[in-house]
Chains A and B, each alone.
Chain A
Amino acid sequence: MNILKFVCNKLKIFLTYILNTKTNRMFKRFSSLQWKSFFRSSNLGKSLGIKIVMGFFGIYMLLSLAGAGAGMYFILKEIFPDQSPMWSISQYFIYWILIELFLRYFMQKLPVMDIKPFLTTPVKKSTIAHYILGRSAASIYNLLTLFFIVPFAIVLLFNGYPVLNVLLWIVGIMGIILSINYVNLLVNKNDKVLIGIGSILALGYGLDYFGVFSVKEFFAPVFHALYAYPITVLIPIAFAALIYYVNFKYLRDKIYLDAKLQSKSVEANTSDMSWTKRFGEMGSFLQLDLKMIWRNKRTKSQVFISLLFVFYGLVFYTVEVYSSMMPMKAFVGVFMTGIFLSNFGQFIPAWDSSYYSMMMSQNIPMRKYLESKVILITVSVVGMFLLTIPYVYFGWEALAINFGCALYNLGVNIPVILYFGSFNKKRIELDQSPFGNMQGASATQFLVMLPVMVVPIIIFSIFYYIFNIEVAVGVLSVLGIIGFAMKNYLIDLITEQYKKKKYGMIAGFKEKAS
């Protein structure tokens, strides 16, 4: 009980510190600055459309989560009829924690407010540190889990679980969420830790799966205790407070321009890539694009993501339900061979936004600039098609569909996506992570997906259901070949379009997003 008293005392001191009026006032000021930086950002008004779409998407996600939470009780009851759903969910808690830690590494941005201007003002460093950490507690990722847990708890209450235990259980879970949040900050995007978590996850699952040692059964009582013995709720809370304190100490001592706040500069690796010269005048643009993709975080991850999507087809080809749904296979064909096309292509020319005014005043023929992008995407489509060849294992149709889709992507989708690119007006900061990064996105990106992804599937379905798969694949291929034959004419049209939109693009790309 003495320990308990001690912890409570510490907590009280901590809380009074947080609520201390002077600190609090500073907090309010910081928060209002943050607020202003959001609402006064120049592209807020213009991107209302995308905000609404994102809003709907977000609400949908939250509703699905809440629905899953509410339904989880019954699902668990169904799968494990002889044990309490609370026990079942406790079994998987350890995996949930590890997976969340793993995912947050990619998803969560470290809360860097622009602290620089405050360094010379009479604001205590500890206040700044508290603010940064406090703000990260309100991160959307912390709320997501709550949206799952609370409905689950409500269903528990309706099923006669004791109120006090369930409520304190929620508090305990919040403690765990905050601990994950602050552990993630402490880890600070360390690759080794990521690999560690990944290996533990794989190892644990492996042990469970092969029945060597039941990780689930081992940890179930640990997490079930949070419900069974309400007093244990103090453990996750104390742990969260401890991690917070460690973070705070670390951060407070690191608020210097040359330590935490400075971005690391990497040593340049020069490569002359003289082979691109074979493409003639386009060579220099091609070389520029390759360097851009390779040397910037966002583009580089995009390439890796695209490569991973080669495996997307396995979902459709191995699952029984889809085996008779040919249109789904057309979708996956368009998707796999065109993933780079859509990921990269939809943001042309915004990739070059940070130096677009130079490009426009330099001696650059617009057509050559666009043609080099065409070559790059063409190579990606061909490459992705070659990677999908092993799907022939699932029958020749798989190969035929992917081939037809690749041709369609080459002939039709490349010009389409380039044309829509001329509507891009939003700047992209190249060295930011692509995960959850909506920078550069606008309604254009949603609109362009319609012709690129949906139209080929509709065409395929129509001809597949009226005739057969041979005709459907044939039609896609022929459309692709026609588009390819008209390539020069189409690129001319697109070039005109880009010239027309030039001033809007230059002005738009100059506006830095915040």
Chain B
Amino acid sequence: MITIENLSKKYGSQQVLNIEHLNIPTGQSFGLVGNNGAGKTTLFSLLLDLIQPSTGHIINNEVQVNTSEDWKPFTSSFIDETFLIGYLTPEEYFYFIGDLRGQNKADVDGLLAQYQDFFHDEILGQKKYLRDLSKGNQKKAGIVASFIGNPKVVILDEPFANLDPTTQIRLKQIIKELAEQKDVTVLVSSHDLIHVTEVCERIVVLNKGEVVKDIETSAETLKELEVFFGAESALPVAE
């Protein structure tokens, strides 16, 4: 589904991302882990053509991301709250996104009904604009909006951060269900090793912009990651 070739991003002389080759097959649930500044958000921004690569390219379902816009109809994402339109109510926002993705009101309502539990009565029918919701509730709205329109690729940056424990558990369930659909590729980044090992089949660790680990998730993965990041705190660079 997604192929990354010779991808690098430099700001001045500082290299923030450098990935020689990475292939994410269709239907995989892909977890991206790394410390602050490891290049997670840079990679996701490149995937969404929000920044230009210094070298290389990304192919998303046979579409080269930085030259064509044809990846947009089947790719959806929630990176941060700049993806929300503050002066809309959550409902209006969902319908707007639905409009962009060719879904009518009834389609969107149908989808939202599935996330009643996840919303916990704090999103819909609140008579509040998105800008007046708490950070956690804004995030919930943004995450669900990224499920509208049957996307084939879903990109979520730090979806677990700022959520309360109940919502985190529900979100894990939702992502797992999404990953079970064989044609949906899910990309998730997180600082939380436990969550990410629970929901992702494959985990890639970025460190200073480079892929340092690429693991199929198994029972030992969490231990392995904890050892890796534990050593990271003792040694300056662990290859």
Contact = CB atoms under 8 A, between A and B. Distances in A.
Contacts of A268: 89, 126-129, 132
A284 B96 contact: yes
A357 B50 contact: yes
A284 B88 CA distance: 13
Interface residues of B, number: 33
Interface stretch (B13-21, B97-105, B189-197, B213-221): B97-105
Given A284-B96, A355-B82, A362 B50 contact: no
Nearest to A509: B82
A362 B100 contact: yes
Name B's interface SS. Answer: loop
Contacts, number: 83
Interface in A472-495: none
Nearest to B75: A361
A330 B77 CA distance: 50
B22 interface: no
B73 to A, nearest CB: 5
B5 interface: no
A292 interface: yes
A267 B127 contact: yes
B73 A363 contact: yes
A125 interface: no
A355 B84 contact: yes
Given A295-B129, A507-B51, A358 B84 contact: yes
A510 B82 contact: yes
B2 to A, nearest CB: 15
Interface string B91-121: 1100011011100000000000000000000
A270 B89 contact: yes
Given A270-B89, A291-B92, A358 B82 contact: yes
B100 A295 contact: no
Interface in A484-514: 503, 506-507, 510
Contacts of B77: 361
Interface of B: 48-52, 72-73, 75-77, 79, 82-89, 91-92, 96-97, 99-101, 126-129, 131-132, 149
Interface of A: 265-268, 270, 283-284, 287-288, 291-292, 295-296, 354-358, 360-364, 430-431, 503, 506-507, 510
> Closest 5 A-B residue pairs measured CB to CB?
A358-B83, A284-B99, A265-B132, A361-B48, A295-B87
